[in-house]
Structure 1
């Protein structure tokens, strides 16, 4: 059975689909998780998908410990293509093997915890090492820009933290997978910039501005004509 998720970090979709699979007693070995690229690169990946089913029976998942829910939030950000298969297998086992939560040496749980640790470390490194550069945009307004190449899918997790910590009212961050800008506290995600095209830390203002306009100007033009 193929199950489609709306992008690399579709945690809401995974939870919804997993509840349905559990309700219908579909074992992990019969499920193939397929990750679809978002149709609109500017869609916020944190927003629930409108097509997700609601009112699915939750009796089975009610016994899942809260610690596993938190674990999922980090594991889905890992770059391992088999992460959703691992999480559903663990969910299935937690429901059908209640003693699993008390087994600190279980191979599946250890793997998930290792992946979560790698994601947490990647988030910490990004927060600690990111450098922002002050420039002026095409309208001569102040703008801070930066680029980073994270090891995992963590930009959506780091962006809200940056929105609270950066003093600049307007900023933009580019990564190979996704880009994000902030306007007065409002986040907008956009397409990524290939590694070879990311401005270096010694790039001039013109290079940064060109990158910013290539990523976000198409969206601005579309919004203006909407």
Structure 2
């Protein structure tokens, strides 16, 4: 038993890892540069330890290696790594995932692309499937952010001195992945004419009508309280609710419960769902109504006469 432990210890601690530190959790250009340098030096995936500048390295064996970043550029004669464009787009999406093992997966796929050409034609490979699932989770998170951001109006100092620019609209959102910077162009296009800010726990952004700025994360307490405009929206939401079309499972699939706490209208979901059956029966029991004529009878006769 003691001999076995000695062998395992020698094998584990004898393996020197190459630490690589990226400038942030979504530093794709840094990853691309480092990956090319590592591939040129024939460093296998098992010999690399990936970290971010804003994340404390927790690797058990990192202390046994040189802790300086591997920031040397690839040699002049380093072979160019050629991969399909859709694969590079996949990696650009995967890096936005919150899984800390995403860098290992990305480099492992690149390494295998170089050393296992058949991988390009194997969509059922475990690593490729995992990368696809992570990319899908990121895209879904981006879709939910587009759908569930709710702005509240703030009359800030800029509005008080220059009211012609309109008030500031502030929203709070809690994304699951590192998507804030990637999704920013959507909001600048969608709300170009108004000033807005979106606060998240990790990263925040604000648009002054011409320039987009990014800043550190915020707290939910930094977001404004409900205003009159929100109360109007809630009244509208309750009136358009159709109990005959309620499908709870489908609704929860499209609007997962994790988002409910930040959606003003979510406070009515349970009540409206509980009343849906009774309201539906009431609608069915009501006598049919006579539809109102859109064209007065006299006007309709005149139109027919003109056509004749």
Regarding TM over 0.5, the answer is: yes
Within the candidate set 41, 46, 60, 1:24 is matched to 41
Aligned position for 1:211: none
Assess, with a 3 A threshold, how the Cα gap between structure 1 residues 130 and 96 changes in structure 2: closer, same or farther. Answer: same
Aligned position for 1:146: 171
Aligned position for 1:59: 79
- C-alpha deviation, 1:201, in angstroms: 6.3
CA distance in 2, matches of 1:168, 1:135: 16
Q: Tell me if structure 2 keeps the 8 A contact 1:143–1:168.
A: no
The correspondence of residues 54-133 of structure 1 with structure 2, limited to 5 A, is 59-61=79-81, 63-133=82-152
Give the structure with the larger strand fraction: 1
Assess, with a 3 A threshold, how the Cα gap between structure 1 residues 201 and 129 changes in structure 2: closer, same or farther. Answer: farther
Where do 5+ consecutive residues of structure 2 fail to align? 1-17, 56-69, 230-308
Larger Rg, first or second structure (1 or 2): 2
CA distance in 2, matches of 1:203, 1:153: 29
Aligned position for 2:201: 176
Assess, with a 3 A threshold, how the Cα gap between structure 1 residues 174 and 132 changes in structure 2: closer, same or farther. Answer: same
CA RMSD in angstroms comes to 2.3
Q: Tell me if structure 2 keeps the 8 A contact 1:16–1:53.
A: no
Deviations 1:164-219 (A, max 9, x none): 11143421110000011112331111010135x353763799xxxxxxxxxxxxxx
Runs of 4 or more consecutive aligned structure 1 residues displaced over 2 Å after TM superposition:
51-60, 197-205
CA distance in 1, matches of 2:173, 2:228: 16
CA distance in 1, matches of 2:228, 2:79: 57
Query: How many residues are paired up?
Result: 191
CA distance in 1, matches of 2:148, 2:187: 13
Assess, with a 3 A threshold, how the Cα gap between structure 1 residues 177 and 19 changes in structure 2: closer, same or farther. Answer: same
Aligned position for 2:66: none
Give the structure with the larger helix fraction: 2
Aligned position for 1:36: 53
Assess, with a 3 A threshold, how the Cα gap between structure 1 residues 182 and 204 changes in structure 2: closer, same or farther. Answer: same
CA distance in 2, matches of 1:64, 1:136: 50
Q: Tell me if structure 2 keeps the 8 A contact 1:145–1:173.
A: yes
- Larger mean CA deviation between 134-143 and 64-73 belongs to 134-143
Aligned position for 2:6: none
CA distance in 1, matches of 2:92, 2:225: 31
CA distance in 1, matches of 2:137, 2:224: 25
Where do 5+ consecutive residues of structure 1 fail to align? 39-50, 206-226
Q: Structure 2 length normalisation: TM-score?
A: 0.58
Q: Report SS of the residue matched to 1:22.
A: helix
Q: Tell me if structure 1 keeps the 8 A contact 2:192–2:209.
A: no
Ranked by relative contact order (alpha carbons within 8 Å, sequence separation 6 or more), the top structure is 1
Aligned position for 2:156: 137
Q: Report SS of the residue matched to 1:25.
A: coil
Aligned position for 1:202: 226
Q: Tell me if structure 1 keeps the 8 A contact 2:201–2:219.
A: yes
